[in-house]
Amino acid sequence: MPNDPAAGNKLRDREPVAFSSAITDSIKTFVLAIVALAVGFEWVNWTEAQTALVIGVVAAFFVVISTISTAVTRGKVTPNVNPRAADGTPLVRSS
């Protein structure tokens, strides 16, 4: 059944690399939003240069984390070299 949760229709099951990237991007966005709030409400007294530095370091950190996460996730994905439909018919014509 196409909508059966047990069949693996969740994003993390169908697209683990995209799911990994989405999680990393969500965390990065949250952290940068906290930095923006801290600067905007003057919870911290940073100069413009210090604010730019913090944003740059946070962004660079999450680029590295995202790259590592994608590489690890991609290594765990099994490529489907002979895809078949649910009834067993080939989805790609053999050459």
pLDDT digits (tens, 9 = 90+) for 1-34: 455 555 556 767 778 888 888 899 999 999 999 9
Which pLDDT belongs to residue 9?
61
Q: Give the whole-number percent of the chain exceeding pLDDT 90.
A: 45
What per-residue confidence (pLDDT) applies to 6? 54
Residue 86 contacts residue 94 (beta carbons within 8 Å): no
For the whole model, what pTM was predicted?
0.66
Q: Which amino acid is at 27?
A: I
pLDDT confidence of residue 5: 52
- What's 81's DSSP letter? S
Token readout for 63 is 């680029």
Q: What is the domain partition of the chain in residue ranges?
A: 10-75
pLDDT value at position 85? 83
Average per-residue pLDDT in the chain?
84
